[in-house]
Amino acid sequence: MTSPFTEEQQRFLRLLEVPVPGRLAGEGGAPSRAALPKAVAAAPPPREDPVFAAPPAPPRKPVTPAAPPTVPDASPLGDMAAQERRASVIAGLAWADLAARVSVCQDCPLGATRQHAVFGAGNPQGRWLFVGEAPGAEEDRRGEAFVGRAGQLLDAMLKAMGLERSRDVYIANVLKCRPPNNRDPLGPEVRECLPYLHRQIALIRPQVIVALGRFATQGLLQVDTPLNKLRGTVQHYGEIPVVITYHPAYLLRNPIDKRRVWEDLKRARQVFAETGRALPEAR
């Protein structure tokens, strides 16, 4: 019986058949112990502030104590001016300082539940940038991007394109910390983390960005358009072309869509070639 796939498609599908000895915790199924929040010491009870204590009443003349002054919300999620100042500071950081800030960031609740912040992986001088959603359980445990089953599949995708992670590509996520139980990112979490990704892009200056999945695409492009309406098009982050495809974790659950991904990756290679730089032969 004749195969419905071309020889090129068959070769790509064979490359994506990565043997995995077992299913890693945190990538579907029950959460690992690593996903459990760290113990947080209980804060000491607030001390009574003598400034706001009611003054003693003089004889036969009661005094009504003044109401305490209103304190503005200084939380990073509630103060737009603070958000702008924070983004401005991040936008001026060098690579090492940016990585150091991410490693200790506590600007959203995910800082209290992670094991490690995951800055990224690969070559920051590479011409390709692949952007995913958020770290998984194995990434959270090791502090590296795309090292679980989805990472193995991504490496196979890169190999099929003729690329190597350590040489040609940098890989980052919209969120630098793992959401508990691998839940979807929340809007405030994305808002807090995007300045880090924006600065990474400014420093890397990639030739092409490949957005992996819905959250990466919508976060980069600041749109709410469904993924299936953006696949097959070339979008732009500033002047940088963005090609959209499925996240490798999605392909682990829906391997039938690997052929569509190959079409997306060929489109990315074409866009790369059109920008005027040579590209190694696909394997």
| Parallel, antiparallel or unpaired: strands 121-122 and 169-173 | antiparallel
The amino acid present at 69, given as its one-letter code, is P
Average pLDDT score over residue span 154-177: 95
Q: In whole angstroms, give the CA distance from residue 202 to residue 234.
A: 20
Query: Whose CA is closest to 252, among 32, 4, 23, 7?
Result: 23
Q: What letter would DSSP give residue 204?
A: H
Confidence at 80, pLDDT banded by 50, 70, 90:
confident
Contact indicator for 262, 160 with CB cutoff of 8 Å? yes
Pick left, alpha or beta for residue 31 (phi over 0 → left; psi -120 to 50 → alpha; otherwise beta): beta
**Nearby residues of 125 by Cβ (< 8 Å), 6 or more positions away:** 204
Confidence at 81, pLDDT banded by 50, 70, 90:
confident
Report the Cα 237 to chain-centroid distance in Å: 16
DSSP H helices in the chain: 7-15, 80-90, 95-104, 137-142, 149-161, 165-168, 187-204, 214-221, 227-230, 248-253, 258-274
Of residues 67 and 170, which shows the higher confidence score?
170
Contact indicator for 169, 269 with CB cutoff of 8 Å? no
Describe the strand order of the beta sheet including 169-173 as a list of residue ranges: 121-122, 169-173, 128-132, 208-212, 240-245, 234-237
Residue 20 reports pLDDT greater than 60: no
Q: In whole angstroms, give the CA distance from residue 26 to residue 179.
A: 11
Q: In whole angstroms, give the CA distance from residue 111 to residue 98.
A: 16
In tens, the pLDDT along 211-241 reads 999 999 999 999 999 999 999 999 999 999 9
| Parallel, antiparallel or unpaired: strands 208-212 and 128-132 | parallel
Q: In whole angstroms, give the CA distance from residue 34 to residue 37.
A: 8
Residue 97 reports pLDDT greater than 70: yes
Q: In whole angstroms, give the CA distance from residue 237 to residue 114.
A: 29
In tens, the pLDDT along 112-140 reads 999 999 999 999 999 999 999 999 999 99
